[in-house]
A = this chain, B = another copy of it.
């Protein structure tokens, strides 16, 4: 690294928080799956918003670019440096102050580096809770969750991060700070810059703080696991149950391969008979939802195929089967992870066609599918192909789009799906996105290589599907 950049970064954040030694940098330079990695000139850990701004200014002055990183739990390579390039990783780890819980508005203010688990505890201590949860809760940060518009297990009921972020503070490419942290439920003074930054994967600004909407605490929970003969049956069950169960907030799908792999990984016996697919349901309410859940399952004709748990240990055991899928797959190799969203009407068709597509593109590979059934969000994991062999990725994403879906439901585009973005977005949309990117980051200092294709003129794209002209 040039001495002058090092000096500028050191001036910005202090010598203890500029990591230039390769050993110290290593954990920031690769993602946890091992699929994405690169080299950074340095990792910097600013302590506050002014330091973040100073880091951006220093990088701009020394021709380096910024890779913002939260908990490094992303799955599309957007939070680690790319191979080559003058990159500085900006870690939010020290932006970790938990602010007040505003009870009147039911909102939590927190630094971008506060982990989801920490925020969940703060909310619960105040008699409230977050509407967002996912397995990476101990590492994933609120800033990262906002930047990637995370979804997770409870989006069915509470929406994704976009719906929950009541405001944020961010440093823009020019080092200026935008701030909307008053938490007003209604604020129509100007464009929704907050919403634009949510889901922009660090390419439009570095989020430094968030104000997160909380929900009423519901401590009464019931969980059911239902054995089914097909994914089509699972979709039908979900569509039957949902209107009958206002307390439903988790509706997850698991396929046979994933269930077997995960049970073996956990060393546990199956709570269900062997089945092609299983659906995990969780209801949450202020009073015990077990009867409501059991009645709805009976009415749907699924009561006899369900295991139900209301006590904490029973619930945890059932939930663990779903949550441990990620670890079980990671333990089996470096997976290709494709995160797609499919309209419910065509989800079973997608699943049916997926086997053939994967077998054709990656012969001998192992296909593991699970996901957030209620959202039409499937996580397609393929074990076998080397990390750089992308053929199966492209084919799976093409199939998703052919079924009216999106190439990214909740993981984002990162570096992984840059070429695939044009499958889901029309030339007009890509052109508009590129114009927005150029407007807010004219020199391309923020997370270059993530999200949009580096080619400036977007031409020769495949028309987007899934639209409907209703007017």
* Interface residues, chain A, with chain B CB atoms under 8 Å away: 48-49, 52, 95, 97, 99, 104-105, 109-113, 148-149, 151, 155-156, 159-160, 162-163, 169, 172, 176-193, 195-196, 198-200, 204, 208-209, 211, 216, 239, 243, 246, 286, 341-345, 372, 374-377, 404-413, 417, 421, 424-433, 435-440, 451-452, 464, 466-471
Question: In the complex, A199 Cα to B189 Cα: how many Å?
Answer: 9
Beta-carbon contact of B112 and A471 below 8 Å? yes
Nearest CB on B from A393, distance (A): 14
How many copies altogether? 2
Determine which residue in A151, A177, A184, A216 has the highest number of CB atoms from chain B within 10 A of its CB, and name it: A184
Which residue of the partner chain, among B105, B169, B433, B470, contacts A344 with CB atoms under 8 Å?
B105
Residue in contact with A425 in the complex, picked from B190, B344, B412, B451, CB distance below 8 Å: B190
- For the complex, what is the distance from the CA of A95 to the CA of B286, rounded to whole Å? 44
- B216 and A431 contacting across the interface, CB-CB below 8 Å: no
Q: Contact at B104–A344, with CB atoms within 8 Å? A: yes
How many Å lie between the Cα of A216 and that of B157 in the bound state? 12
Q: Which residues of B lie under 8 Å from residue A372 when comparing CB positions?
A: 186
With A176-B428, A178-B432, A186-B410 given, is the CB distance from A468 to B104 under 8 Å?
Answer: no
Minimum CB distance partner of A201 in chain B: B188
Residues of the B chain whose Cβ atoms lie less than 8 Å from the Cβ of A436 = 191, 196, 436, 439-440
Min Cβ gap A51→B in Å is 9
Residues of B within 8 A of A169 (CB): 467, 469-471
- B186 x A191 contact (CB < 8 A): no
| A343 in contact with B184 (CB, 8 Å) | yes
How far, in angstroms, from A187 to B424 measured CA to CA in the complex? Answer: 10
- State A376–B452 Cα separation when bound (angstroms): 39
Task: List the B side residues contacting A176 at CB < 8 Å.
Answer: 427-428, 431-432
Q: A406 with B187: in contact, given A432-B193, A471-B48 (CB under 8 Å)?
A: yes
A407 to B305, CA, bound (A): 56
A190 touches B413 (CB 8 A): yes
* Residue contact B188 to A192, C-beta cutoff 8 Å: no
Please state if B440 and A435 are interface contacts (CB–CB under 8 Å).
yes
Sample of 7 more A-B contacts, CB < 8 Å, known A178-B426, A182-B405, A193-B433 = A155-B186, A179-B467, A184-B406, A185-B341, A188-B412, A191-B437, A435-B439
Decide if A181 touches B471 in the complex (CB within 8 Å). no
Chain B residues near A49 (CB-CB < 8 A):
469, 471
**What residues of chain B lie closer than 8 Å to A177, measured between beta carbons?**
426, 428
Asked if B149 and A188 make an inter-chain contact with CB atoms under 8 angstroms apart, the answer reads yes
Q: Are A471 and B111 in contact (CB under 8 A)?
A: yes
Can you sample 30 A-B contacts with CB below 8 Å?
A48-B469, A49-B469, A95-B471, A97-B471, A104-B343, A110-B470, A113-B471, A148-B188, A155-B186, A159-B163, A177-B426, A178-B429, A179-B464, A182-B343, A182-B406, A183-B343, A184-B343, A186-B376, A187-B341, A187-B408, A187-B409, A188-B410, A189-B413, A189-B417, A189-B424, A190-B425, A190-B430, A193-B429, A209-B469, A432-B440
When C-beta atoms are compared, the residue in chain B nearest to A375 turns out to be: B185
Q: Enumerate chain B residues within 8 angstroms of A413, measured Cβ to Cβ.
A: 188-190
**Structural contact, B439 and A181, CB atoms closer than 8 A:** no
How far apart sit A466 and B341, CA to CA, in the bound complex (Å)? Answer: 38
Given the interface pairs A190-B430, A190-B433, A428-B178, the reply to whether A105 lies near B471 with Cβ below 8 Å is no
CB distance from A201 to the nearest CB of B (A): 8
CA–CA, A438 to B110, complex, Å? 33
A186 contacts which of B160, B189, B468 (Cβ < 8 Å)?
B160
